[in-house]
Structure 1
Amino acid sequence: MNMTSKRFSIRVWFMLLLIATVAVSPLQAYAAADNDRPWMNTSLSAEERTELLLQAMTLEEKVGFVTGKVNNYYGFYNDGLERLGIPALQMADGPAGVRIANPDVQDKKSTALPAPIALAASWDLDLAKKYGDLIGKEAYNTTHNVLLGPGLDIARTPWGSRNFESFGEDPLLTSSMGTAYVNGIQSNPVLATAKHYILNNQETERFSTNAVASERTIQEVYARPFAEVVEKAGLASAMCSFNQVNGTYACENQEMMTDILKKQFGFKGFIMSDYGANLSTAKSANAGLDLETPGEPFGKWGDQLLTAVKNGEVSQEKLDDMVSRILLQMFEKGLFDNPVQNVKINAKANGKKAREFAEQSMVLLQNNDNVLPLSKKNMKSIAVIGPDADNASAAGGGSSLVNPTYTVSPLEGIQKIAGKKVKVQYEPGTDPISGGDAFNGPSAVPSAILTPSPAENSYGENKTGLKAQYWTNIDMEGDPSLERTDGQVNVNFGFYNYEGFNAQSPKLPLTPLSFNKKMSARWTGSIKAPATGKYTLSLTSLGSSQLYLDDELLFENKGTTLSTTKKEIELTEGEAHNVRIEYRSDNPPFKGRDMGPQIRFGWEAPEEAVDAKMKKAIELAKKSDVAVVVTRTYDSEGYVDRSDLELPNNQEQLIREVAKVNPKTIVVQMSGRAVEMDSWKDDVEGIVQAWYGGQEQGNAVARILFGEVNPSGKLPVTFPVDETQTPVSKEAQFPGVNGIGDYSDGIFVGYKGYDKLNLKPAFAFGHGLSYTDFSYRNLKVKTKGGKGKNKKATIEVSLNVRNTGKVAGSEVVQVYVGSLPTAVETPEKQLAGWAKIDLKAGKQQRVNIELDRKALSYWDEQDNEWVMPKGDVPIYVGSASDDIRLSGSVKVGSPSGK
Structure 2
Amino acid sequence: MFLSFLFSTPAFAQKLPYQNPNLGSEERAKDLITRLTLEEKASLLFDQSPAIPRLGIKKFNWWSEALHGLANNDNVTVFPEPVGMAASFDDSLVYRVFEATSDEVRAKYHEALRNGKENRRFLSLSVWTPNVNIFRDPRWGRGQETYGEDPYLTSRMGVAVVKGLQGPAGSRYRKLLACAKHFAVHSGPEWSRHTLNLYQVKPRDLYETYLPAFRSLVIDAGVRQVMCAYQRLDDEPCCGNNRLLQTILRDSWGFKHVVVSDCGAITDFYTSHKVSSDAVHASAKGALAGTDVECVWEGYAYKSLPEAVSRGLITEQEIDKHLLRVLIGRIDLGDLDEDALVPWANIPMSVVNNEAHRKLALDMALESMTLLQNRNNTLPLKRNLKKIAVIGPNADNDPMLWGNYNGKPVRTINILHGLRSKMPAGSVLYDKGCDLVENKVTQSYFSQCSIDGKKGFKATYWNNRELKGEPVITEQITNPLKLTTAGQHEFASGVQLENFSALYETEFAAAQTEEIVFKCGATGSMQLYVNGTLVNRTNNWRTLLSRIPYKVEGGKKYKIEVRFAQLNNWQANIEFDFGREVDVDFSGLINKLKGIEVVIFAGGLSTLLEGEEMPVSYPGFKGGDRTDIQLPEVQRNCLKALKAAGKKLIFVNCSGSAIGMAPETETCDAILQAWYGGESGGQAIADVLFGDYNPSGKLPVTFYSDTTQLADFEDYSMKGRTYRYMADPLFQFGFGLSYTTFSIGTAQPGKTEIRNNENLDLSIPITNTGKRNGTEIVQVYVRKTGDSDGPLKTLRGFTRVTLAAGKTTTAVVSLPPSAFEFFDSNSRKMTVAAGEYELLYGNSSAEKDLKVVKVVIK
TM-score normalized with structure 1 length: 0.73
**Does residue 429 of the first structure (1) align with residue 472 of the second (2)?**
no
Give percent identity, aligned residues only: 30
| Residue 494 of structure 2: aligned partner | none
162-171 vs 138-147, greater mean Cα deviation: 138-147
- CA deviations on 1:619-654 (whole Å, 9 max, x unpaired) are 344422321110031322124111111333711111
- CA deviations on 1:39-60 (whole Å, 9 max, x unpaired) are 4544544444443444444433
**Does residue 792 of the first structure (1) align with residue 793 of the second (2)?**
no
Q: Which amino acid aligns with 1:88?
A: F
Offset at residue 786 of structure 1 (A):
7.1
2:703 to 719, 726, 733: 719
| Residue 111 of structure 1: aligned partner | 77
Greater C-alpha Rg: 1
Q: Which amino acid aligns with 2:302?
A: W
| Residue 215 of structure 1: aligned partner | 203
Paired residues for 1:356-375 under 5 Å: 356-375=363-382
Q: Alignment partner of 2:671: what SS?
A: strand
Paired residues for 1:443-482 under 5 Å: 443-447=438-442
**Does residue 859 of the first structure (1) align with residue 829 of the second (2)?**
no
Paired residues for 1:459-608 under 5 Å: none
2:242 to 254, 257, 265: 254
**Does residue 742 of the first structure (1) align with residue 712 of the second (2)?**
no
| Residue 737 of structure 2: aligned partner | 769
| Runs (5+) with no aligned partner, structure 2 | 110-123, 168-173, 268-281, 451-456, 458-475, 490-497, 520-553, 561-573, 615-622
2:603 touches 2:653 (CA, 8 Å); kept in 1?
Answer: yes
2:230 touches 2:262 (CA, 8 Å); kept in 1?
Answer: yes
CA distance in 1, matches of 2:97, 2:753: 34
Offset at residue 98 of structure 1 (A):
1.0
CA distance in 2, matches of 1:310, 1:862: 45
2:150 to 170, 174, 179: 170
Q: Which amino acid aligns with 2:613?
A: G
| Residue 594 of structure 1: aligned partner | none
CA distance in 2, matches of 1:445, 1:160: 26
| Residue 103 of structure 2: aligned partner | 137
2:102 touches 2:164 (CA, 8 Å); kept in 1?
Answer: yes
CA RMSD of aligned residues (A): 4.8
Offset at residue 456 of structure 1 (A):
7.4
| Residue 843 of structure 2: aligned partner | 879
Cα distance change of structure 1 residues 803 and 78 upon mapping to structure 2, 3 Å threshold: farther
| Residue 603 of structure 2: aligned partner | 631
Q: Which amino acid aligns with 2:823?
A: W
Cα distance change of structure 1 residues 798 and 332 upon mapping to structure 2, 3 Å threshold: farther
2:444 touches 2:577 (CA, 8 Å); kept in 1?
Answer: no
2:394 touches 2:654 (CA, 8 Å); kept in 1?
Answer: no
| Residue 495 of structure 2: aligned partner | none
Q: Alignment partner of 2:602: what SS?
A: strand
2:391 to 370, 385, 393: 385
2:175 to 175, 184, 189: 189
CA distance in 1, matches of 2:650, 2:769: 25
**Does residue 67 of the first structure (1) align with residue 40 of the second (2)?**
no
| Residue 320 of structure 2: aligned partner | 320
1:198 to 175, 184, 187: 184
CA distance in 2, matches of 1:342, 1:867: 45
Cα distance change of structure 1 residues 870 and 861 upon mapping to structure 2, 3 Å threshold: closer
Q: Which amino acid aligns with 1:34?
A: A
- CA deviations on 1:464-515 (whole Å, 9 max, x unpaired) are xxx9xxxxxxxxxxxxxxx99999xxx9x9xxx99779x9xxxxxxxx9999
Offset at residue 372 of structure 1 (A):
0.9
Offset at residue 684 of structure 1 (A):
1.2
Q: Which amino acid aligns with 1:195?
A: K
Cα distance change of structure 1 residues 275 and 142 upon mapping to structure 2, 3 Å threshold: same
Q: Which amino acid aligns with 1:703?
A: D
**Does residue 95 of the first structure (1) align with residue 83 of the second (2)?**
no
| Residue 126 of structure 2: aligned partner | 146
**Does residue 833 of the first structure (1) align with residue 797 of the second (2)?**
yes
- CA deviations on 1:303-326 (whole Å, 9 max, x unpaired) are x11222344322233212211212
| Residue 406 of structure 1: aligned partner | 411
CA distance in 2, matches of 1:847, 1:352: 28
Cα distance change of structure 1 residues 768 and 84 upon mapping to structure 2, 3 Å threshold: same
Offset at residue 164 of structure 1 (A):
0.8
| Residue 888 of structure 1: aligned partner | 852
1:229 to 197, 213, 217: 217
Q: Which amino acid aligns with 1:718?
A: T
CA distance in 2, matches of 1:668, 1:522: 41
Offset at residue 846 of structure 1 (A):
0.8
Offset at residue 810 of structure 1 (A):
0.9
Q: May I ask how many residue pairs the two structures share in their alignment?
A: 739
CA distance in 2, matches of 1:285, 1:784: 50
| Residue 687 of structure 2: aligned partner | 703
- CA deviations on 1:98-143 (whole Å, 9 max, x unpaired) are 1246xxxxxx332111100010010001011011112211111121
- CA deviations on 1:322-369 (whole Å, 9 max, x unpaired) are 112123333445555538579432344322211111111010111111
CA distance in 2, matches of 1:226, 1:78: 30
CA distance in 2, matches of 1:636, 1:132: 22
TM-score normalized with structure 2 length: 0.76
Q: Alignment partner of 1:260: what SS?
A: helix
Q: Alignment partner of 1:709: what SS?
A: coil
Q: Alignment partner of 1:93: what SS?
A: coil
| Residue 37 of structure 1: aligned partner | 16
Cα distance change of structure 1 residues 644 and 886 upon mapping to structure 2, 3 Å threshold: closer
2:648 touches 2:669 (CA, 8 Å); kept in 1?
Answer: yes
CA distance in 2, matches of 1:852, 1:498: 51
- CA deviations on 1:815-840 (whole Å, 9 max, x unpaired) are 112244446x1112111111111111
Q: Alignment partner of 1:393: what SS?
A: helix
CA distance in 1, matches of 2:679, 2:54: 39
Cα distance change of structure 1 residues 242 and 837 upon mapping to structure 2, 3 Å threshold: same
| Residue 869 of structure 1: aligned partner | 833
1:180 to 149, 157, 160: 160
874-883 vs 54-63, greater mean Cα deviation: 54-63
Cα distance change of structure 1 residues 526 and 323 upon mapping to structure 2, 3 Å threshold: same
- CA deviations on 1:359-398 (whole Å, 9 max, x unpaired) are 1101011111111111213x11110111231122214665
CA distance in 2, matches of 1:883, 1:692: 29
Paired residues for 1:250-399 under 5 Å: 250-279=238-267, 280-293=282-295, 295-302=296-303, 304-335=304-335, 336=337, 337-338=341-342, 343-344=348-349, 345-377=352-384, 379-395=385-401
CA distance in 2, matches of 1:855, 1:665: 42
1:878 touches 1:884 (CA, 8 Å); kept in 2?
Answer: no
CA distance in 1, matches of 2:379, 2:817: 39
Offset at residue 68 of structure 1 (A):
2.4
Cα distance change of structure 1 residues 720 and 315 upon mapping to structure 2, 3 Å threshold: same
| Residue 140 of structure 2: aligned partner | 160
1:410 touches 1:699 (CA, 8 Å); kept in 2?
Answer: yes
CA distance in 2, matches of 1:833, 1:36: 52
1:842 to 797, 806, 823: 806
Q: Which amino acid aligns with 1:389?
A: A
Q: Which amino acid aligns with 1:290?
A: D
CA distance in 2, matches of 1:750, 1:184: 29
CA distance in 2, matches of 1:264, 1:59: 31
CA distance in 2, matches of 1:522, 1:721: 47
Q: Which amino acid aligns with 1:429?
A: G
| Residue 813 of structure 1: aligned partner | 778
Offset at residue 724 of structure 1 (A):
0.9
Q: Which amino acid aligns with 2:665?
A: K
Q: Alignment partner of 1:191: what SS?
A: coil
